[in-house]
Chains A and B, each alone.
Chain A
Amino acid sequence: MQMSYPNGLKYTKEHEWIKIEGSVATIGITKYAIDQLGDIVYLDLPKVGASFKAGVNFGTVESVKTVSDLYMPVSCKITEINQTAIDSPDCLAEDAYSKGWLVKVEVENIPADLLSASEYENYIKGGN
């Protein structure tokens, strides 16, 4: 069974996860967020080459009923988008932390307030 919040990742209070490997990072949304949204049917992701500051809106994820904004966890430049996720958004629910990644980026700056797995889990449960 897939772990709810893998330890090697960092998290945001807006429910994105980020896997930082040197100057490169992979970004997705957490299993918790996916469960809250229900059937994900459409992803709107930025183009390769676009630059974002940490905390700004970089795309949207749509379920049958709702549209939710995605917020960039780090300041970065997009190097790759997950075409498989765009073509079959189902893969987010199947595999949120691997097959269901959204974008890969070249990291420019990492904010200090990213959460660890246990901090995120605590946050979801309503703790501090």
Chain B
Amino acid sequence: MSLPVEEKLKLTPLFEEHLALNGKMVPFAGWNMPVQYTGVVDEHKAVRNSVGIFDVSHMGEIIVTGRGALDYLQGLVSNDVAKLQIGQAQYSALCYENGTLVDDIIIYRRGFDSFFICINASNIEKDFAWFKERCPKQGVHLENVSDDYAQIAIQGPKSRELIAKVVDVKITELAYYHFTEGKVLGVPAIIARTGYTGELGYEVYLPASAAAKIWRGLLQVGHEYSVKPCGLGARDTLRLEVGYLLYGNDMDNTTSALECGLGWVTKFEKNNFVGKEALLKQKEEGLIRKLVAFEMQDRAIGRHGYKVYASSEGENSIGNVTSGCPAPTVGKNIGLAYVNQAYSKLGSQIWIEIRGEKKPALVVKKPFFVHGSAQG
């Protein structure tokens, strides 16, 4: 068998911590990241049952300020930024003119004219260039602060108890998709009740220089909740169980916001935004393909890039798998795939070609795992 070859990669401020914890490092989006420490399944279960912490410092951050900031963002992103209260976070699509995706982002409103935006690691340069190109000459100030910030995600039903012990602000009443600014172990931070696991959780944005101190502090304080450091492996199985999309796998510059199911953050009633016209046309004409959730009916695992067929003898592919893995909490092999609209209905039988053999799968309802603590 063959094992992956190492590449020249960027390091987060927590790189030494990962090595000290025996993290198995792998290339991801140009970064050298821990894929696991004790094992994907073990870490996955820690997050579902208690609490885990993730280094997500590879993610990028852009600050948008100035009196024109709101209007500017309204014209750029698909969701309705005007609905965003100060102290609230909002998930949004960032589209090209043709409705396909530049990125999926989270916007935090820090003040009337002040926004903090979290973007995907692989898209930092591309997104910032996109923001800059469309920025008015006056009234809006943009800053790419990706190198200044580290980000740690604290996720799991015990995350609130853990974080309450390290912050100087009242965290117990922080609502889902809201954030506060305070200190974590004495270090100024943005503390958001957001996450990518389906569990109650927090994402903390910190100065990069303080990341290692906070990381070690969280592991120490979290000892009584059996906190575990978690890698990208568990991050992927957790997010897939709750049906969250991953940019670069489930959506990219070839898939429209509607095809991948981001219609819920696409607000046609607001004034023009980049991609609106194309998406509206697509909505009126109907979609040709859609991203669906599937469950394997066989022990094989349908993975990214595998082709989908309408029958076991079918010769013409009707789509392709974008994500797939064994789901530790659900106990099934699950995934997401683009299929022709005709096969996108719940209960549709599809076939996934795995190393030359077509294996049966069923189109099922998202999410695969419904009992997460995220919104509780």
Instruction: Using known A-B contacts A64-B325, A69-B2, A70-B1, determine if residue A39 contacts B39 with beta carbons closer than 8 Å.
Output: yes
Contacts A14-B2, A64-B40, A70-B1 given; does A42 touch B24 at CB 8 Å: no
Residue pair B233, A64 in contact (C-beta under 8 Å): yes
Q: How many angstroms from the CA of A38 to the CA of B36 in the assembled complex?
A: 8
| A71 contacts across to B, CB distance below 8 A | 1-2
Check if B2 sits within 8 Å of A64, measured CB to CB: no
Closest partner residue, chain A, to B327 (CB atom) = A64
Among A14, A33, A44, A64, which residue has its beta carbon within 8 angstroms of that of B300? A44
Closest to A65 in B: B233
Q: Is A16 an interface residue (CB 8 A)?
A: yes
Contact in complex: B2, A42 (CB < 8 Å): no
Given contacts A38-B233, A41-B326, A60-B355, are A68 and B1 in contact (CB under 8 A)? Answer: yes
User: What is the bound-complex CA distance between A60 and B354, given in angstroms?
Assistant: 11
Complex: A69 Cα to B2 Cα, angstroms = 6
B325 in complex: contacting residue of A29, A36, A65, A70, CB < 8 Å: A65
For residue A61, CB closer than 8 A to chain B, the reply is: yes
B5 at the interface (CB under 8 A from A): no
Known contacts A38-B40, A64-B237, A65-B325: A33-B301 contact under CB 8 Å = no
Complexed CA–CA distance, A44 and B1 (Å): 13
Number of A-B contacts (CB under 8 A): 55
Tell me whether B41 is interfacial, beta carbon within 8 Å.
yes
Q: How many chain B residues touch A (Cβ–Cβ < 8 Å)?
A: 21
How far does the Cβ of B198 sit from chain A's closest Cβ, in whole Å? 17
Proximity bits, B326-368, A CB within 8 Å = 1, else 0: 1010000000000000000000000000110000000000000
Q: Does B192 contact A (CB under 8 A)?
A: no
Chain B neighbourhood of A41, CB < 8 A: 301, 326
Residues of A in contact (CB 8 Å), total: 22
With known contacts A60-B355, A65-B236, A42–B1 Cβ distance under 8 A:
no
1/0 per position for B1-28, CB-CB distance to A under 8 A? 1110000000000000000000010000
Shortest CB–CB separation between residue B187 and chain A, in angstroms? 32
Q: Give chain A nearest CB distance to B304 CB in angstroms.
A: 10
- Name the CB-closest residue of B to A16: B1
Question: Is A67 an interface position by the 8 A CB rule?
Answer: yes
Q: Does B303 contact A (CB under 8 A)?
A: yes
Q: Given the complex of chains A and B, what is the CA–CA distance between A14 and B3 in angstroms? A: 8
Q: Does B35 contact A (CB under 8 A)?
A: yes
> Pick the contact of A69 from B1, B301, B325 — CB < 8 Å?
B1
Q: Is A77 in the interface zone, CB < 8 Å from B?
A: no
CB neighbors of B among A69-121 (8 A): 69-71
- In the complex, what residues of B have CB within 8 A of residue A14's CB? 1-2
The answer to whether A15 has its CB under 8 Å from any CB of chain B is yes
Q: Judging by beta carbons under 8 Å apart, are A39 and B41 in contact? A: yes
Q: How far does the Cβ of B239 sit from chain A's closest Cβ, in whole Å?
A: 13
Q: Is B299 an interface position by the 8 A CB rule?
A: yes
Alpha-carbon separation in the docked complex, A61 to B325 (Å): 14
The residue of chain B having its C-beta at the shortest distance from the C-beta of A29 within the complex is: B1
Contact: A33 with B3, CB < 8 Å? yes
Contact digits for B230-255, partner A, Cβ 8 Å, 1 yes 0 no: 00010011000000000000000000
Contact with A along B217-229 (1 / 0, CB 8 A): 0000000000000
CA distance A36 to B233 in the complex (A): 13
Residues of B within 8 A of A42 (CB): 299-301, 326
A69 to B325, CA, bound (A): 17
Within the complex, the shortest CB–CB distance from B81 to chain A, in Å, comes to 36
| A-B pairs with beta carbons under 8 Å apart, 5 shown | A36-B24, A44-B354, A62-B301, A64-B40, A70-B1
Q: Which residues of B contact A (CB under 8 A)?
A: 1-3, 24, 35-36, 39-41, 233, 236-237, 299-301, 303, 325-326, 328, 354-355
Instruction: Give the 10 A-B residue pairs with the shortest CB-CB distance, closest first.
Output: A64-B40, A68-B1, A65-B233, A41-B326, A39-B41, A70-B1, A15-B1, A14-B1, A39-B39, A38-B36
